[in-house]
C-alpha cells in the first residue's frame, strides 16, 4: 500500500491506449478527477488526494505531469458528508509536504503535494458510518462522488498465534486468526520483529525492528464479522529477517519481542485487487481491467482499521532456530 495509486491508475490508462489500434491519441479534452483516500476512525486527521488526468491535443503527457497546475485543480471543493449523522464538512486544501506526507519523486510534480484535510475531532466519524465524498469542480461540471462505510475494530486471536511460540520449524506452520468488522474485506498481515543491536565499538544497545510481511492481501469478502484464519510458513519468516538484517562482523543482537499487525480495508480495495488480478499471467489479454468506486472519476476511496497485538515471544527452541538456522545463523543473535 505505499505506492502511489494515482500513478498506477494513470499508467493503466496509458497502457490501454498503447494496446488499442483504434485509440485516438489526441482526443477531445476531458477533465477526469483521480481520487485516492483511505479514511480511518483511528486517524487524527483525514486526507484525500485529488488530481486530474487528461492529455491536451498536441500535448506531451510526461511534460504535463511535471506542471503543478496541470495535475491539480485550482478551484476544487471537497465535501465529506456523514450519511448517518447528516453532517457535512468542507475539507481544507493543504500541502502534504507540510503535513508530513510528502509525495514520492517521479514523473509527477511533487511540490506542492496537494491534499484535502479534515480534522478528525471535527468530523468524529464512527465505525460503520456511511460516508459520501463529493468533488465540486464548478457549476458547469457534474460533481464526482464516492460512498463507503467506515471499517471498524479487528480483534486478534490470543491463541493463533499463541503468546509464546515454541516451534518455528520450516515444516510447522504459523496459524493466524482474527475477527474483523463486517465492513472489512481485505487484510494486510505482518509481524514486527523487535530486537536489540550493539555493533563493535558501541557501549549500549539500539532498538531495531525488521518486518515480516506475511501477506498484503488476504481476502475475506462478505465475512459478516466471522473469524478469518490464515496459515503461513516459518521459512519465509527467516528469509525476511535475513533480507533486512545485515551481516555485520562483531555485531551482538538479542531478540526482544514480536508484534502482529493486521490492517483491514473496505470492499473498494478488495474489488480493485480482484479486478487487477483477473487478467494477469501468461494467458492474459493485453488490456488491463480498471476498477474505480468514484462515480464521475477514477480512483479508490475506502476505509481501513489497524490492530496491533504486542508482546509475542519466542521460546527456547524457536530462539535456537534463530541463532543456528540456515538463513539467520550469521546474524549473531545471542
Q: Residue 263 pairs with which residues in a beta bridge?
A: 188, 306
* Set of cell numbers at residue 208: 531495531
Angle at CA 291, nearest 5°, toward 302 and 64? 95
Q: Which one is predicted more confidently, 64 or 151?
A: 151
Quick check: is 330 in a domain?
no
Q: Structure pTM?
A: 0.84
Reported as a pLDDT band with limits 50, 70 and 90, residue 290 is confident
Quick check: is 199 in a domain?
yes
Kindly state whether residues 13 and 116 are assigned to the same domain.
yes
Domain end (from 150, 169, 202): 150
Q: What's residue 17's pLDDT?
A: 39
DSSP strand pairing (77-82 vs 130-136):
antiparallel
Q: What's residue 251's pLDDT?
A: 95
Kindly state whether residues 145 and 179 are assigned to the same domain.
no
Strands (E), the chain: 32-39, 45-53, 77-82, 87-90, 92-95, 114-119, 130-136, 144-149, 155-156, 164-165, 173-179, 186-198, 206-219, 228-233, 252-265, 298-314
Q: What's residue 8's pLDDT?
A: 39
Kindly state whether residues 93 and 128 are assigned to the same domain.
yes
Stretch among 26-40, 167-181, 272-286 having the lowest mean pLDDT: 272-286
Provide the mean pLDDT of the chain: 86
Q: What's residue 242's pLDDT?
A: 97
Q: What's residue 21's pLDDT?
A: 41
* 230-240: average pLDDT: 96
Kindly state whether residues 94 and 230 are assigned to the same domain.
no
Compute the Cα dihedral for 52, 57, 62, 68 and give only its sign.
Answer: negative
Per the structure, the complete domain to which residue 37 belongs is given by 5-150
- Is residue 309 within 8 Å of 259, Cβ to Cβ? yes
Compute the Cα dihedral for 310, 38, 61, 295 and give only its sign.
Answer: positive
**Residue 214 is part of a domain; what is its CATH number?**
2.60.40
Domain end (from 133, 150, 167): 150
Reported as a pLDDT band with limits 50, 70 and 90, residue 172 is confident
Kindly state whether residues 192 and 311 are assigned to the same domain.
yes
Domain end (from 109, 135, 150): 150
Q: Which one is predicted more confidently, 55 or 139?
A: 139
Q: Residue 92 pairs with which residues in a beta bridge?
A: 117
Quick check: is 292 in a domain?
no
* Set of cell numbers at residue 4: 502511489
Please write the tens of the pLDDT for every residue from 67-114. 566 788 989 999 999 999 999 999 999 999 999 887 766 555 566 889
- Classify residue 155 as exposed, middle or buried by CB count within 10 Å of its CB (0-12, 13-18, 19+): middle
DSSP strand pairing (298-314 vs 252-265):
antiparallel
**pLDDT higher than threshold 90 for residue 263:** yes
Quick check: is 333 in a domain?
no
Kindly state whether residues 174 and 145 are assigned to the same domain.
no
Nearest to 119 by CA among 92, 156, 153, 159: 92
* 220-234: average pLDDT: 91
Strands (E), 201-286: 206-219, 228-233, 252-265
- What is the distance between the alpha carbons of residues 322 and 254, in angstroms, rounded to a whole number? 10
Amino acid at each position: 500500500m505505499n505506492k502511489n495509486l494515482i500513478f498506477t491508475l494513470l499508467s493503466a490508462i496509458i497502457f490501454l491506449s498503447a494496446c488499442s489500434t483504434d485509440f485516438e491519441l489526441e482526443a477531445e479534452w476531458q477533465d477526469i478527477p483521480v481520487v485516492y483516500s483511505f479514511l480511518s476512525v483511528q486517524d487524527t486527521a483525514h486526507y484525500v488526494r485529488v488530481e486530474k488526468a487528461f492529455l491536451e491535443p498536441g500535448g506531451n503527457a510526461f511534460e504535463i505531469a511535471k506542471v503543478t497546475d496541470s495535475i491539480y485543480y485550482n478551484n476544487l471543493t471537497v465535501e465529506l458528508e456523514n450519511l448517518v449523522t447528516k453532517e457535512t464538512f468542507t475539507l481544507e486544501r493543504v500541502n502534504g509536504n507540510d503535513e508530513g506526507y510528502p509525495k514520492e519523486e517521479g514523473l509527477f510534480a511533487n511540490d506542492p503535494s496537494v491534499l484535502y484535510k479534515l480534522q478528525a475531532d471535527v468530523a468524529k466519524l464512527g465505525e460503520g458510518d456511511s460516508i459520501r465524498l463529493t468533488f465540486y469542480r464548478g457549476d458547469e461540471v457534474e460533481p464526482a462522488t464516492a460512498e463507503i462505510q467506515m471499517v471498524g475494530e479487528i480483534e486478534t486471536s490470543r491463541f493463533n498465534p499463541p503468546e509464546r511460540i515454541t516451534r518455528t520449524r520450516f515444516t510447522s506452520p504459523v496459524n493466524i486468526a482474527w475477527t474483523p468488522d463486517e465492513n472489512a474485506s481485505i487484510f494486510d498481515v505482518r509481524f514486527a520483529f523487535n530486537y536489540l543491536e550493539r555493533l563493535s565499538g558501541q557501549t549500549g544497545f539500539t532498538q531495531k525492528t525488521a518486518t515480516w510481511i506475511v501477506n498484503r492481501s488476504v481476502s475475506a469478502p462478505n465475512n459478516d464479522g466471522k473469524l478469518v484464519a490464515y496459515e503461513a510458513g516459518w521459512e519465509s519468516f527467516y528469509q525476511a529477517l535475513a533480507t533486512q538484517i545485515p551481516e555485520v562482523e562483531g555485531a551482538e543482537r538479542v531478540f526482544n519481542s514480536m508484534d502482529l499487525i493486521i490492517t483491514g480495508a473496505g470492499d473498494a480495495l478488495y474489488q480493485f485487487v480482484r479486478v487487477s488480478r483477473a487478467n494477469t499471467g501468461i494467458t492474459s489479454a493485453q488490456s488491463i481491467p480498471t476498477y474505480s468506486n468514484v462515480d464521475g472519476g477514477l480512483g479508490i476511496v475506502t476505509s481501513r482499521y489497524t490492530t496491533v497485538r504486542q508482546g509475542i515471544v519466542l521460546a527456547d527452541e524457536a530462539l535456537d532456530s534463530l541463532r543456528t538456522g540456515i538463513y539467520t545463523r550469521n546474524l549473531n543473535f545471542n
